[in-house]
Amino acid sequence: MELGQLFLEIGGVILLLALVGRAAGRLGITPIPLYLLAGIGLGAVMSLGNAPEEFIHTGAEIGAVLLLFTLGLEYTSEELSSNLKANRQIGIIDLALNFTPGLVAGFLLGFTPLAAVLLGGVTYLTSSGIASKILRDFGRLGNRETPLILAVCVIEDVVMAAYLPVVAALLIGGTLFAVGINLLVALAAFGLAFFLALRYGHVLSRVMNVPSDEALLLGVLGLVLVVAGAADQLNVSAAIGAFLVGIALSGEVADRARQQIEPLRDLFAAVFFVFFGLQLNLAEVPSVLLPAILLTIVTGATKFAVGWMGAARAGVQLRGRFRAGTTLIPRGEFSILIAGLGLGLAPSLGPLAAVYVLLTAILGPVLSRFDAQLAPLLQRRPRGEAGKEVSAPGQG
């Protein structure tokens, strides 16, 4: 492809994103649903060349990584460790409530047992990229329910560190020994990264804190991508690898890194959501629409229940519980990846996962935006106190 054509197509996509972002600002909502719909529209009316599509795909992966890195900058390693310990029980409930519907649906749809297990993985995982975007767009990083949301996302990725090597080995017909080795490598890699972030994060912060903003930007971005790439090679989520780098950095260097990275994060995060929409082939939608809608309803409710129960245990009030539940509803990039592993087993798994991810990625942010209006509908009101609010606006 000629350079001019490449620039025209990529520039056109970015200009469209700018218009979509402005529209979302006027409506007072997160731009995530509009970015997704813009991707669907682009895929329906035009065919990008191989080079622009490859750029958008790579940009989408970088966007997910930078979203989680900047989210990690908001928290210390001590906060993360204590939150994970406090929410282990919620993690078990999350696995039971959200893996099971996909597994059962797979059998009902006539999938093979392994394909059904893959669909269980699709419905289990919250999109940490979309969740972090919701928290940032709505200014909720400091809310009481946010540590619970982060803990659930990290616990899910720990489960994935065990799940993916096992599934990958089964797909290629690996022996029990090979499965065990893959599993040990993935868990050891995650454990080592987590230990280093907890124990030596202050050393890393001193090393990275150079006077030059340019050198800081290049050093931090390079480190994040290297760690994310290494994590992915070891079957650990690349985004969670980047999250742990953010956790490790603290103090002045974390503040400076945030300022330097945020513009890049915003650009690539927008590309990340558009790429989801571009992946959806509209011709395949009708055959999978009904099961996708049913799965969205069931697993939207189960994921909401996880967030609600977890926030309630932490003493969060009504609106905070509602925000926790709705922020956990979206599924995303990892669900698409898991579905892609099983296309040879069940060709409809890919389109089903794409429509399902799109529906949850729209539902979660929209419900979360209107927490003030919707949360009171779930309030238990004693007789004679129908008009009494549990919490004042802004609390929870």
pLDDT score, position 381? 58
Dist CA 303 CA 298 (whole Å): 9
Per-residue pLDDT band at 394 (split at 50, 70, 90): very low
pLDDT at 341 over 80: no
Check: CB of residue 116 under 8 Å from CB of residue 107: yes
Percentage of the chain beyond pLDDT 70 is 86
Q: Give the mean pLDDT of 248-262.
A: 86
pLDDT at 124 over 90: yes
For residue 352, which of 153, 160, 120, 48 has the smallest C-alpha distance?
Answer: 120
Q: Give the mean pLDDT of 213-238.
A: 86
pLDDT score, position 339? 82
User: Does residue 184 sit in helix, strand or coil?
Assistant: helix
Chain CA centroid to CA 391, Å = 29
pLDDT score, position 367? 93
Per-residue pLDDT band at 333 (split at 50, 70, 90): low
Q: Which residue has the higher pLDDT, 228 or 6?
A: 228
Q: Which residue has the higher pLDDT, 18 or 336?
A: 18
Dist CA 359 CA 348 (whole Å): 17
Identify the burial level of 15 via C-beta atoms within 10 angstroms of its C-beta, where 0-12 means exposed, 13-18 middle and 19 or more buried: exposed
Dist CA 28 CA 290 (whole Å): 30
Check: CB of residue 343 under 8 Å from CB of residue 349: yes
pLDDT at 180 over 80: no
Dist CA 335 CA 364 (whole Å): 15
- C-alpha angle with apex 178: 173 to 180, nearest 5 degrees? 120
- C-alpha angle with apex 157: 154 to 162, nearest 5 degrees? 140
Dist CA 344 CA 88 (whole Å): 35
Listed range (5-9, 19-23, 120-124, 168-172) with the worst mean pLDDT: 168-172
pLDDT score, position 161? 64
Q: Give the mean pLDDT of 60-80.
A: 77
Q: Which residue has the higher pLDDT, 209 or 166?
A: 209
Rounded to two decimals, what is the model's pTM? 0.71
Helices 285-313 and 88-108, interaxial angle, to 10°? 160
Residue by residue, DSSP assigns 28-66 as TS-SHHHHHHHHHHHHHH----HHHHHHHHHHHHHHHHH
Mean of per-residue pLDDT scores for the chain: 83
Per-residue pLDDT band at 48 (split at 50, 70, 90): low
Q: Which residue has the higher pLDDT, 10 or 106?
A: 106
> Could you identify the residue written with the tokens 């002045």?
252
pLDDT at 326 over 90: yes
For residue 353, which of 366, 367, 372, 340 has the smallest C-alpha distance?
Answer: 340
